[in-house]
């Protein structure tokens, strides 16, 4: 099997770590960003009660690919129990999160 960019005598494991997996700096930055967003969502300035913040997607599953991944966060809000309620409030929620993050 021929892998483009693999070094002579390099193991597949080393190749994956070097080329495919995100580097430690990126993962650290993702962790800091997740913590910052979670802090904003739990702050008293946010008008909604967030039950918890869940890290999802490829970062959450540990399957992120270098240069192709982003952070997916899920945060259930206790007083929004239907899709209709979410549709009515989504613009305000988005604006509130953006405003609070800009202050950080």
Q: What domains can be seen in the chain, in order of their start residue?
A: 12-103 (3.30.460.10)
Residue 18 contacts by C-beta under 8 Å, 6 or more apart in sequence?
A: 10
- Condensed to tens digits (0 to 9), the pLDDT of residues 77-98 reads 998 999 999 999 999 999 999 9
From CA 96, how far away is CA 47, in angstroms rounded?
8
- Condensed to tens digits (0 to 9), the pLDDT of residues 8-63 reads 889 989 999 999 999 999 999 999 999 999 999 999 999 999 999 999 999 999 99
Burial of 80 (0-12, 13-18, 19+ CB in 10 A): middle
pLDDT, greater one: 1 or 55:
55
The pLDDT confidence band at residue 101, using thresholds 50, 70 and 90, is confident
pTM for the model: 0.77
Mean pLDDT of 60-76: 93
Q: What is the sign of the dihedral through the CA atoms of 54, 57, 59 and 62? A: positive
**What number of residues does the chain have?**
104
Identify the bridge partners of residue 77 per DSSP, sorted by sequence position.
50
- Helical H runs in the chain? 12-15, 24-42, 57-61, 83-103
């Amino acid at each position: 099997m021929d892998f483009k960019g693999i070094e002579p005598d390099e193991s597949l494991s080393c190749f994956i770590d070097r080329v495919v997996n995100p580097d430690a700096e990126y993962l650290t930055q993702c962790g800091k960003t997740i913590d910052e967003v979670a802090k904003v969502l739990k702050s008293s300035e946010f008008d909604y009660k967030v039950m918890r913040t869940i890290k999802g997607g490829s970062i959450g599953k540990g399957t992120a690919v270098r240069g192709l991944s982003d952070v997916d966060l899920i945060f259930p809000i206790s007083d929004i129990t239907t899709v209709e309620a979410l549709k009515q409030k989504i613009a305000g929620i988005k604006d509130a999160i953006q405003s609070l993050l800009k202050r950080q």
